[in-house]
Amino acid sequence: QQQVKQSPQSLIVQKGGISIINCAYENTAFDYFPWYQQFPGKGPALLIAIRPDVSEKKEGRFTISFNKSAKQFSLHIMDSQPGDSATYFCAASMGFQKLVFGTGTRLLVSP
């Protein structure tokens, strides 16, 4: 119940295209859903996060879509750029407790 399932494992997108990464969870007590971006040799950095009281949150080219009934959330990267090439992790937590991470998606944006 503590797992967060993430797909796809890897993704190749053309420059200017839309990158979509999906996550699913089982524990309905989760109340915080962040996405982290990690470049090689660096620690993960918070990209965007959402709480289940909203269905969508947008920050620049990055959007989280949240479907509470389906227990799924996804990251959309609009107008994907080569600089977006990184590994993306979804995560979930409840009540300020520890984060549970997805397995990660390696995104490559081709020029």
Partner 1 sequence: SAVISQKPSRDICQRGTSLTIQCQVDSQVTMMFWYRQQPGQSLTLIATANQGSEATYESGFVIDKFPISRPNLTFSTLTVSNMSPEDSSIYLCSARRGGADTQYFGPGTRLTVL
How far, in Å, CA of 65 to CA of 6, rounded?
14
40 or 111, CB closer to partner 1? 40
13 or 91, CB closer to partner 1? 91
CB 15 within 8 A of CB 111: yes
25 or 89, CB closer to partner 1? 89
End-to-end alpha carbon distance in the chain: 39
Residue 101 CB, nearest approach to partner 1 (Å): 5
Structure tokens at 62: 């990055």
**Residues of the shown chain interacting with partner 1 in the complex, contacts defined by CB under 8 A:** 32, 34, 36, 41-46, 49, 89, 93, 96, 98-99, 101-104, 106
